[in-house]
């Protein structure tokens, strides 16, 4: 089977900062590892508040990421 | 035949659902892009009592999305105009107006009177404030917010059997910093986006109150207008949520919800005007809004330098020892004050808390 890695979805200002609404990643095993990768690859995200959702569940602590997972980067919106 | 015939006919809704809506008291915070469409559908659905809280007045640039208002409503109080409009449509609707912004001093007394709260506000300060008040008072909260072409909807504070309730702080424990917040005036929006999100908020409120369908309890839904796509995620209780949230009414009242205060010196209008009166030449009061933004102040002396022009005007700015900047709501002026503080490290730079919206408020409260 093809090595599919993980899919990343970005919303709101995060998508704006990284200039993509989705991308694919490989060889990432945990959410901590993912966050490390993200802040290194996209220093512009430094200090920005957003929440991680792994396979449609919001994650508050380090969690294992399995192949084929979808990780979403969710920033808060305030507009009305 | 009656007004609600078509929804009473609906399986799972019926007379019981209708009666529940009739008995419900709903508070809509903000009669803006989200509040207007939500109000229209809540009133049409037969909610018995609707309260509208908004301290703002209608401006012409609101009209692309705040669909209750007309050109003739410009400068009138939003809550009043919206209340009159709905009352004229449905005579049996009991409607209440609160011509004020919610604060940590007034919101507990207001929120406690209603069964469900709709957050259609437009800033993080109010969103955290409403959330925390609803948590303390155990009130269901229908949340909706937008950013450019995207929207969010969620239902907070509802516990069901075997399910613990969650709230906004379980998703985002702390408010973002001022520099993370997009400039309220530069961010554009198509009127249909808050229309879609506002109607979804009304829909969640109607479902929750009448016991119909599956409301977004402990879920956060994202909508993207560009791609027509939805994304839904589960919210779980977050241990970090309780760290910063007030846990008593006293703590709530003394919590500083003003995000700006932590970073630059913010002062009130009366402090700014006192400063100006005491040393006329050393204080420069600068309106950093665009030239077209209303209302203008005509009873005090100030200079207008739109934010984008600030750094072309350093000569004028450098003459004063103290620079006091203000904008519409106090968000842009904090950014401007920070930037000016970097440019003029030896000057004292202040931002006026709440901007023009607070100036109006102090003037009308007299």
| Residue B191 sits in the same domain as residue B296 | no
What is the pLDDT, as a whole number, of residue A1?
Answer: 44
What is the pLDDT, as a whole number, of residue B40?
Answer: 98
pLDDT tens-digit series, residues B212-224: 999 999 999 999 9
| Residue B61 sits in the same domain as residue B160 | yes
What is the pLDDT, as a whole number, of residue B364?
Answer: 45
- Say yes or no to pLDDT of B127 above 80: yes
| Residue B246 sits in the same domain as residue B340 | no
What is the pLDDT, as a whole number, of residue B341?
Answer: 80
- Say yes or no to pLDDT of A57 above 90: yes
| Residue B244 sits in the same domain as residue B272 | no
- Say yes or no to pLDDT of B325 above 80: yes
Chain A contact for B146, CB < 8 A? yes
| Residue B248 sits in the same domain as residue B353 | no
State how far Cα B109 lies from the chain centre. 18
CA dihedral B62, B65, B71, B75 (to 10 degrees): -30
Average pLDDT of the residues in B239-248: 83
Residue B290's CATH number: 3.40.250.10
**Across the interface, which of B30, B177, B234 has its CB nearest the CB of A80?**
B30
What is the pLDDT, as a whole number, of residue B259?
Answer: 64
Contact at CB, A77 and B146, closer than 8 angstroms: yes
Domain that holds residue B296: 261-365
What is the pLDDT, as a whole number, of residue B366?
Answer: 38
B230 pairs with which residues across the strands?
A: B223
What is the pLDDT, as a whole number, of residue B318?
Answer: 83
Residue A1 lies in a domain: no
Cβ atoms of residues A73 and A11 within 8 Å: yes
Which uninterrupted H or E stretch holds B229? Answer: strand B229-234
Residue A69 lies in a domain: yes
Average pLDDT of the residues in B31-43: 98
Chain A contact for B234, CB < 8 A? yes
Window from A38-42, A62-66, B285-289, B328-332 with minimum mean pLDDT: B328-332
| Residue B135 sits in the same domain as residue B226 | yes
Instruction: With 0.90 as the threshold, say if the pTM is over it.
Output: no
Which uninterrupted H or E stretch holds A24? Answer: strand A22-25
Number of domains in chain B: 2
| Residue B289 sits in the same domain as residue B347 | yes
What is the pLDDT, as a whole number, of residue B186?
Answer: 55
- Indicate if ipTM > 0.90: yes
- For residue A45, give the chain B residue with the closest CA: B180
Residue A28 lies in a domain: yes
B163: which DSSP letter?
B
Number of domains in chain A: 1
What is the pLDDT, as a whole number, of residue B240?
Answer: 80
- Say yes or no to pLDDT of A28 above 80: yes
Residue B188: CB atoms within 10 A of its CB come to 8
| Domain finish residue from B234, B257, B280 | B257
Domain that holds residue A36: 6-74
Q: Which residues of B touch A57 (CB under 8 A)?
A: 233-234, 236
| Residue B195 sits in the same domain as residue B297 | no
Alpha helices in chain B (DSSP H): 5-8, 14-23, 35-45, 78-89, 107-111, 124-137, 168-171, 192-210, 241-244, 249-254, 269-278, 314-318, 332-343, 355-365
| Residue B245 sits in the same domain as residue B338 | no
Average pLDDT of the residues in B231-256: 89
| Residue B50 sits in the same domain as residue B154 | yes
Q: Which residues of A touch B145 (CB under 8 A)?
A: 76-80
Residue A23 lies in a domain: yes
Contact at CB, B232 and A77, closer than 8 angstroms: no
- Say yes or no to pLDDT of B179 above 80: no
Contact at CB, B150 and A57, closer than 8 angstroms: no
- In B, residues 24-83, which contact A (CB 8 Å cutoff)? 30, 32-35
The two beta strands, B49-53 and B303-304, are unpaired
Residues whose CB is less than 8 angstroms from the CB of residue B269 and which lie 6 or more positions away in sequence, other chains included? B352, B354, B358, B359, B362
Chain B contact for A38, CB < 8 A? no
Average pLDDT of the residues in B189-202: 97
Q: What 3-state DSSP class applies to B156?
A: strand
Residue A80 lies in a domain: no
Residue A10's CATH number: 3.10.20.30
CA distance B112 to chain A (A): 23
Residue A79 lies in a domain: no
């Amino acid at each position: 089977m093809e090595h599919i890695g993980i899919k990343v979805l970005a919303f709101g200002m995060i998508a704006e900062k990284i200039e993509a609404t989705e991308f694919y990643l490989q060889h990432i095993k945990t959410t901590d590892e993912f966050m490390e990768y993200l802040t290194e690859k996209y220093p512009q995200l430094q200090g920005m508040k957003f929440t991680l959702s792994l396979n449609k569940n919001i994650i508050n602590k380090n969690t294992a990421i399995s192949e084929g997972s979808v990780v979403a980067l969710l920033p808060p919106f305030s507009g009305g | 035949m009656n007004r609600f015939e078509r929804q009473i006919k609906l399986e799972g809704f019926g007379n019981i659902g209708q009666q529940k809506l009739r008995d419900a008291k709903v508070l809509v915070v903000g009669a803006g892009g989200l509040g207007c469409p939500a109000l229209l559908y809540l009133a049409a659905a037969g909610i018995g009592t609707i309260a509208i809280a908004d301290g703002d007045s209608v401006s012409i640039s609101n009209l692309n999305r705040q669909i209750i208002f007309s050109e003739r409503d410009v400068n009138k109080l939003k809550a009043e105009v919206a209340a009159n409009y709905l009352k004229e449509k449905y005579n049996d609707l009991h409607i209440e107006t609160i011509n004020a912004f919610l604060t940590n001093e007034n919101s507990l007394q207001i929120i406690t009177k209603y069964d469900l709260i709709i957050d259609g506000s437009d800033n993080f300060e109010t969103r955290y404030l409403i959330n925390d008040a609803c948590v303390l008072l155990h009130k269901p909260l229908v949340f909706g917010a937008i950013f450019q072409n995207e929207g969010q909807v969620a239902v907070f504070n509802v516990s069901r059997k075997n399910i613990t309730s969650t709230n906004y702080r379980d998703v985002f424990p702390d408010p973002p910093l001022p520099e993370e917040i997009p400039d309220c005036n530069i961010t554009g929006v198509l009127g249909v986006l808050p229309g879609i999100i506002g109607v979804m908020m009304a829909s969640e409120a109607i479902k929750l109150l009448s016991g119909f369908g599956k409301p977004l309890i402990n879920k956060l839904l994202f909508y993207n207008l560009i791609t027509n796509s939805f994304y839904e995620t589960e919210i779980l209780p977050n241990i970090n949520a309780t760290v910063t949230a007030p846990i008593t009414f006293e703590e709530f009242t003394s919590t500083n919800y003003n995000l700006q205060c932590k970073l630059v010196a913010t002062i009130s209008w009366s402090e700014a005007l006192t400063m100006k009166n005491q040393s006329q030449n050393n204080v420069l009061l600068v309106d950093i809004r665009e030239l077209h933004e209303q209302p203008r102040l005509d009873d005090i002396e100030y200079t207008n330098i739109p934010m984008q022009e600030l750094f072309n005007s350093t000569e004028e700015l450098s003459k004063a020892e103290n620079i006091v900047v203000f904008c519409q709501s106090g968000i842009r002026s904090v950014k401007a004050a920070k930037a000016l503080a970097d440019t003029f490290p030896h000057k004292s730079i202040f931002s006026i808390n709440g901007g023009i919206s607070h100036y109006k408020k102090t003037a009308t409260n007299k």
